[in-house]
Structure 1
């Protein structure tokens, strides 16, 4: 019994030593998208409507100080802000669900706004606790953001446009 216990302790020590020695040193970066145009093309009708914005970039643009290949270890979204475009009519809109998609990821929910949206006001969306494949999306170098919002008006024949800005915390390999 004592022999098994000693073996178990040695095994635990070996595994912990192995995991710490194999861990990679990373560096954290705060990245903010430029202001993107999140647009729903009219005519729009009462109920759920979809707006989209695409952000294209290169890893070299995002991480100009990294020499050689940029390797993303972890990535997560830390903030999402939307604001209705100034000087445009806005229908009555309630909540918005924000999702994202890239070439090699599935559609992932990243944020939620549960209040009515008013003109000339900026909104911080509640960030999803579980975020899947954000690191893969960054590596894809092209992300489409999809904002599904509920329109309370019966119909609206113009485009609905929001300013969208998304903040990321990205860990790269040193």
Structure 2
């Protein structure tokens, strides 16, 4: 019985990590993605494809479990600070991390000062795109889509942005 349970668990875990590309062949960009769980994907920084995220001199970095904990902690602080600024007539723009299931894309780099930084892209609707392997960028959408950068050395966040509404 324990062997059957372990086998089913392994099959389940492997099926969760399958590419969402609906049968498409994996590209080189897909190979750069690391699925960390069902709601988080780490995507390798590529200066040619992602020059708008970080300086072109940044180099890809990997994230440790401690980095992921720090990212989650700073994300909570950032969202709480943002929510405090929302006027009463704009309450629909609040970000509710408890009520909505947000997926996160993480792009980690080492900057020119040797500090690890992460771009955190959060969204609650992926439009059935292969979000685990390709960046999801949208216009509008309100509090369902937001992103920020985190410096893991200084433990500070910056460039926080919530998508506007049409």
Q: TM-score, normalised by structure 2?
A: 0.28
Bigger CA radius of gyration: 1
Q: Which has the higher helix share?
A: 2
Q: Which has the higher strand share?
A: 1
Q: Which has the higher contact order (CA 8 A, sep 6+)?
A: 1
